């Protein structure tokens, strides 16, 4: 595993049910992260969004954002569940427009350029993402809370199954296309960003199938958003009818391109268009 950049850790924030919980850093909530996209028509203007699971911000009401500040403290963005946009027929995903203050907040939003289209990620002539590729998740380990600032932690693993149907706690419950990862998680990591990476020389496809060395540069992208773990059951030997349930080491991830889909929803697109109109330079009026 290569050394992680601090900017990856700074893309995240923690979510709470109330401002008071966020200030004190108590009560289990979830994780979110920031993304940004440039304006389509106005130079040097970008739009910023918080991303997390629908079940965290909307269903469970953990909608208040706690950000790290540059001075080592934290700052609160007091959002409600109604501020988060989601697709009622979509994934366990929610987005809220945010306005970070980069003179105060230690936040590094993920550029939308790191969210690749499906065809580029899975085209054999492109990134050719698949089983065994390395992944890292950054999020909230609840046993390390109650400090003066957020302390994001990392979990590491690999892709076990690519684009299989896994049940999600989505607005419309049921199996949805997801990645399945061999990576441990626990309560608090819901909504965390999951990144995929490849270092030079690590692509076995080219070594084994193409009989050629892998000399391309390193690859790094946002793979998706963690939404939960598979549960598993087992019977205790000698105790008839006794079933123990726990979580497995298999983690579900919503594909990152679903964030692009959500950003294109009419409500968010209209907000950007209205804002673009305000920022567009005005031509001077012609005097007659």
pLDDT at 231: 66
Contact 258, 178 (CB under 8 A): no
3-class SS letters over the chain:
CCCCCHHHHCCEEEEECCHHHHHHCCCCCEEEEEEEEECCCCCCCEEEEEEECHHHHHHCCCCEEEEEECCCCEEEECCCHHHCECCCCCCCCEEEEECCCCCCECCCCEEHHHCCCHHHHHCCCCCCCCCCCEEEEEEECHHHCCCCCCCEEEEEEEEEEEEEEEEECCCCCEEEEEEEEECCCCCCCCCCEEEEEECCCCCHHHHHCCCCCCCCCCEEEEEEEEEEEEEEEEECCCCCCCEEEEEEEEEEEEECHHHHHHHCCHHHHHHHHHHHHHHCCCCCCCCC
Range 6-279: architecture per CATH:
Beta Barrel (2.40)
- The region that residue 178 occupies, defined by phi over 0 for left and psi between -120 and 50 for alpha, beta otherwise, is beta
Biggest alpha carbon distance in the chain? 98
Contact 56, 30 (CB under 8 A): yes
Q: Please state the pTM of the whole predicted model.
A: 0.86
pLDDT at 247: 62
Domain boundaries, the chain: 6-279
- Output the six-digit token pair for 12: 């995240």
pLDDT at 238: 60
pLDDT per residue rounded down to tens, the chain (288 residues):
677 788 888 999 999 999 999 988 887 789 999 999 999 888 889 999 999 999 999 999 999 999 999 998 999 999 999 999 999 999 999 999 999 999 999 999 999 999 999 998 988 877 889 999 999 999 887 766 666 788 888 999 999 999 999 889 999 888 999 999 999 877 789 999 999 998 765 555 554 455 555 555 678 899 999 998 876 655 556 666 655 455 667 899 999 999 999 999 988 999 999 898 888 776 565 454
pLDDT at 98: 97
């Amino acid at each position: 595993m290569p050394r992680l950049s601090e900017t990856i850790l700074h893309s995240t924030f923690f979510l709470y049910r109330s401002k008071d919980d966020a200030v004190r850093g108590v009560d289990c909530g979830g994780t979110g992260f920031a993304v940004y996209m440039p304006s389509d028509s106005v130079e040097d203007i970008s739009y910023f969004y918080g991303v997390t699971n629908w079940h965290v911000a909307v269903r469970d009401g953990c909608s208040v954002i706690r950000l790290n500040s540059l001075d080592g403290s934290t700052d609160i963005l007091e959002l409600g569940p109604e501020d988060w946009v989601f697709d009622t027929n979509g994934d366990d995903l929610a987005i809220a427009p945010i306005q970070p203050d980069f003179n105060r907040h230690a936040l590094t939003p993920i550029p939308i350029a790191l969210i690749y289209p499906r065809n580029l990620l899975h085209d054999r002539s492109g990134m050719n993402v698949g089983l065994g590729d390395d992944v890292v998740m950054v999020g909230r380990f609840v046993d390390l809370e109650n400090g003066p600032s957020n302390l994001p932690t990392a979990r590491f693993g690999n892709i076990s199954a690519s684009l299989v149907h896994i049940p999600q706690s989505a607005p419309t419950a049921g199996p949805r296309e997801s990645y399945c990862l061999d990576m441990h998680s626990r309560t608090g990591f819901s909504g965390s960003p999951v990144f995929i990476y490849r270092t030079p020389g690590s692509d076995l496809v080219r070594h084994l199938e193409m009989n050629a060395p892998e000399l391309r540069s390193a690859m790094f992208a946002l793979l998706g958003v963690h939404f939960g773990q598979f549960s598993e059951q087992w019977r205790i030997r000698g105790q008839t009818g006794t079933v123990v349930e726990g979580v497995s080491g298999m983690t579900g991830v919503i594909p990152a391109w679903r964030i692009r889909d959500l950003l294109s929803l009419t409500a968010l697109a209209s907000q950007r268009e209205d804002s673009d109109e305000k920022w567009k330079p005005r031509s001077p009026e012609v005097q007659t």
